[in-house]
Each structure stands twice: as structure tokens, then as C-alpha cells.
Amino acid sequence: MSEPFSASFVAPADLATIERVHSMFERLGDERPDLPEQTRSAFELAVVEVVTNVVQHSPDRPPVTVELRIVATPRGLEAVVTDDAPPAAVDLDAAALPEDDLAESGRGLALVGLLVDRFEHEPLASGNRWTLAVEAG
């Protein structure tokens, strides 16, 4: 039986934070080689997309902080991304891929929904919580 994996960080919502996400997934791959590569890669893409959205859509002032926690158990992977940006008015059920195949934006949340088994957004009093989960296998 594989050991559970848990890792987290709190950082400014900037481009360097996206690199921290990739580093966290490298560590996950090293510590949990039993997780299928395809599952890890798809989940990494989904988490990076959510963190990138926080970075891109956060105001510069005051600076926004993002917290990421990833947990891996024999059941699968879960990530919780929390930010202190203004609460977002997001309807994940309405997220859809753009009809224009060449569109460079507007597909992120829909893509995340396709990559994971569970994707939730919860506006907080002063921020947002994004929860992503995928079953292993």
C-alpha cells in the first residue's frame, strides 16, 4: 500500500507560484510513482489552470495570496486552492469550451471540468476556494 502524500504552500499570486505548482507535482511523482502518469499529468494541468486563473485575474493592489494543498491517498488526488482575491462570481455549470477553436482564452474552467471528477468553487467572505479531485486508476 502506498503512503499518503500531502504538500502545501502559501505564496503571492504571481508567475513564480505557477512554477511552485509544477515543483509540487514533481515531488508527488517522486513520492507516489504508483499513481498513473496520465492521472497525475491531467490533474497537474487542472490545478495549474486554476492557479493561473487566480494569478491572471487577481488585482495588483492589494497583492493577492494563493494557498495550495494537495493530498494523495489510495483513493485518488485532491487539491484545494484558496485565494484572498475578491470573491468571484463563477458558474462552473455554465463553463463551456468556446466555439471558436482558435480562441486563446475562455476555455480554462471548462477544461478543468473535463480533467477532474469533481470541481467546485466556493466564494468566501474574503476570497475563493477551489476544490478539485480525481479518482486514481
Condensed to tens digits (0 to 9), the pLDDT of residues 45-78 reads 999 999 999 998 887 778 899 999 999 987 899 9
pTM of the predicted model, to two decimals?
Answer: 0.86
State the DSSP string of 58-105.
S-SSSPPEEEEEEEEETTEEEEEEEE-SPPP---GGG----SSTT-SS
Phi, psi of 123 (to 5 degrees): -70, 135
Helix axes 108-115, 37-57, angle to 10 degrees: 150
Q: List the Cα angle 50/52/54 in 5-degree steps.
A: 75
Burial of 19 (0-12, 13-18, 19+ CB in 10 A): exposed
Q: At 3, is the secondary structure helix, strand, or coil?
A: coil
Find residue 80's DSSP bridge partners: 69, 131
The ranges assigned to domains in the chain are 5-135
| Residue 3 confidence (pLDDT) above 60 | yes
pLDDT tens-digit map of 6-51: 999 999 999 999 999 999 999 999 999 989 999 999 999 999 999 9
In terms of CATH, what superfamily is 5-135?
Answer: Histidine kinase-like ATPase, C-terminal domain (3.30.565.10)
